[in-house]
Amino acid sequence: MKRPLLVLGATGLIGRGVVAAAVEAGLPVIAVARDTAKLAALKAAFPGTDITVVANTIRDDLAGDRLARELRDSGRPLAGVVASICGSPGRGRLLDQPVSGLSRELDEVVIPHLSAARHVLPFMAESAMAGNYILIGGPGSEMPWAGYGPRSVTGAALRMLAQVLHDEARALGIRVQLLDISSPACTDQNLAHACPRWPRADDIGRRALQLALRNESRLGTHPVVPFDPPPESGASLSTAHADPAIAQPRRTQAPIMTDPRAHRVSDVRRLLDSLIPTQSNEVSR
């Protein structure tokens, strides 16, 4: 019997991409999320596949312990874990919001990640040849994301959490890593407004699966792994974006776009590139 991949936050945009990648690879999936209706829809989207859905918010130690007990009761050692737990967008300036806003953001993202790791990692260590534990991080973790103050602080906290867990989980024989996505993800839902350089959720899912199954040698033991889109990523975004520059984005070559608004965005990006030709400019995208 094949070991299942545990996906936390499975009904989110990135979580669904991870589930799709696992199904594509022929792996069973244990999908965990808080919304039972969305879990049912996720299972229905992949008929004839081995997907077990578990409703759990994972907001505290009680929920984390309950998840670990359910995993033990299933009698199925894990092939790996991908945690894509996302909270609210976290928009606006920190100075303009009450402290409860940032506290809520941390409670919705960082605390669930810690709660899950505290109880799932020991379960993984109970079986031989366990896979990796992969967290998904978003933009703003290294450089502040303008207009998303709470998201930036939360992203930085998640990045540090991953590095701490990476060190502490060594004693368990489990590798914890953060797959760092430095820009928003492109999905079917936001395709009309997505930047051509945004990675596809399906590509992120495949990369996360690769790390979770230990099919990685180039960045084997690093706690933070930057996401590098595959060469073909972006070619299928839409016919309006079908330009070779998208497949291999370069700072000196802007993609051709048909939307006038996209031209303005492209002009601003080229201006910023000329003024600040540093890595920070690439991260801010």
Report the pLDDT value the prediction gives residue 269, as an integer from 0 to 100: 56
Q: Using CA atoms, how far apart are residues 172 and 130, in angstroms rounded to an integer? A: 10
Lookup: tokens for 11: 């009904």
Q: Flag whether 34 is in a domain.
A: yes
Report the pLDDT value the prediction gives residue 7, as an integer from 0 to 100: 98
Consecutive 10-residue averages of pLDDT for the chain (285 residues): 94 95 97 97 96 95 97 94 84 91 92 97 90 92 86 94 97 94 82 84 94 71 86 40 31 37 52 52 42
Q: Using CA atoms, how far apart are residues 169 and 176, in angstroms rounded to an integer? A: 7
Report the pLDDT value the prediction gives residue 218, as an integer from 0 to 100: 55
Q: Flag whether 243 is in a domain.
A: no
Report the pLDDT value the prediction gives residue 215, as an integer from 0 to 100: 66
Domain CATH for 219 = 3.40.50.720
Report the pLDDT value the prediction gives residue 276, as an integer from 0 to 100: 55
Contacts of 140 (CB under 8 A, 6+ apart): 148, 151, 152, 155, 156
Q: Flag whether 212 is in a domain.
A: yes
Report the pLDDT value the prediction gives residue 112, as an integer from 0 to 100: 95
Q: Flag whether 278 is in a domain.
A: no
State how many domains the chain has. Answer: 1
Which DSSP helix (H) or strand (E) runs through 32? strand 29-33
Which range marks the domain in which residue 63 is found?
5-237
Report the pLDDT value the prediction gives residue 248, as an integer from 0 to 100: 34
User: DSSP 3-state assignment of 69?
Assistant: helix
Q: Flag whether 281 is in a domain.
A: no
Q: Are 216 and 210 in contact (CB under 8 A)?
A: yes
- What is the pTM for the complete model shown? 0.78
Q: Flag whether 272 is in a domain.
A: no
Q: Flag whether 282 is in a domain.
A: no
CA-CA distances (angstroms) from residue 65 to 128, 143, 218, 226? 21, 34, 34, 31
Report the pLDDT value the prediction gives residue 17, as an integer from 0 to 100: 95
Q: Using CA atoms, how far apart are residues 186 and 256, in angstroms rounded to an integer? A: 18
Report the pLDDT value the prediction gives residue 255, as an integer from 0 to 100: 37
Contacts of 168 (CB under 8 A, 6+ apart): none
Q: Flag whether 215 is in a domain.
A: yes
Report the pLDDT value the prediction gives residue 244, as an integer from 0 to 100: 30
